[in-house]
Chain A
Amino acid sequence: MSAKITAGDMHFKELNRLIRESAESEIIVDDCLGQRYIGSGVSGKHIIINGIPGNALGAYLDGSDITVYGNAQDATGDTMNKGTIVIHGNCGDAPGYGMRDGKIVIKGSAGYRCGIHMKQYMDKIPLVLIGGKVGDFLAEYQAGGRIVVLGIGFEDICPVGSFCGTGMHGGAIYIRTEHMPKSLPAQISIHDADDSDKEAIRADVELYTQSFGGNADELLGSHFYKLIPNSANPYKQLYVNN
């Protein structure tokens, strides 16, 4: 069974209390309009949101699934731990900030600072997957996990902005494009993705096409760049001589 909540003008405190205290595992939130922190820290539920959730959607999410039929605002999945957030629209700035595990899948485009400070540990490897394009500072200070930008509908331009991967020292970025990102820092290296690289993201691309349609093989048939930290040119003596 599922529970239905009409958010409307409800304050986020009340909405989140209703979600947390609901005995149902599936919760449908209708008429959502800017309520913050939806699903923060929540485990074991599927939250379906119709409308525009507010900032910090799924912050610290701990094993729930969230599906948004609309656009998301800023700081989606901030420090999230486990679970999946699927957005049938665009997303604002900084999705996946400091993310530790789980998946964020965005149908359209996202703003600045996607996936910054993402990290990974053992089998906990987070994923931020963006269908369209993103702004500047993609993967800034990335320490782990995967970021995939499919650039669908933006085949004529590079679908990532400036300062991509600044301070990156772990994880990987995959970009479906023929156009190399500009102003890459010397501490990361850029490669043409080979077949084994594409296999590594096949499940991610299939998750995208299962959620929103499209053909995974066709997408994977395109050219991808892969960006990883350049171990031959590590950060040294950036602040102190050690």
Chain B
Amino acid sequence: MTVATDQAAEASSKLSLHPMEQFTVRPLFGGTEIHWYTITNVTLWMAIAVVCTFLLLVYATRARALVPGRGQSIGEVVYGFVRNMVVDVAGEDALAFFPYILTLFMFVVFANSLSLIPMSFATTSHFAVTGVLAIAVFLTVTIVGFVRNGTSFLGLFWVTSAPFPLRPVLAIIELISYFVRPVSHSVRLAGNMMAGHAVMEVFAGFAIVLWISPLSIAAITAMYGLEIMVAVVQAYVFTILTCVYLKDALHPHH
């Protein structure tokens, strides 16, 4: 009896999945060292996301029909959605950055959605990937702010609507919140994706126990549905925050 339970415990410990193991970066073509040029599962799935974005937009703009077909309708919906977002949040003069923001949105939404395919890899669950995206946004916004407004961009930190004694304190708070932006911007996306995938893996680990497995499979199905929503909503949030930061750079005086 004890031998049987020991064997069962051993088998389950072998079968049980570590929830964070799915995020391991591995070189695809042998070797264990990872250089900047090594093709890993991260770079593969990011490349697939880029190719999907490219194919969708090329397919959508191929016909250029007056009455859009299926592909063109999808392209027009995405284009109109992001364009409205940029105009509503950041204003008409932010349309110069529309191509960048559309690219960001398409890349993030495809990377998030592709990571939901079983056996694929969640690239946006890595802080390195989202961190680069967020730092690129941060640098763009800061440079644009200084180029467009000169030193009056620093007025963003000097809140003139507040009473004078309060302004230095507010300036420090504003300064901290400004430099913390790329952190929260990137960790929000990566944290949401990582947490969702880890939770699904935890439920998958429960599926080993026979009597609980139907419940576990139902839970995975429900989480999967939630994750589809989270993938799109987080891409939307990432893009809309980019627009908010851009608005601060273009119109720093509230």
User: Is chain B found bound to chain A in the same assembly?
Assistant: no
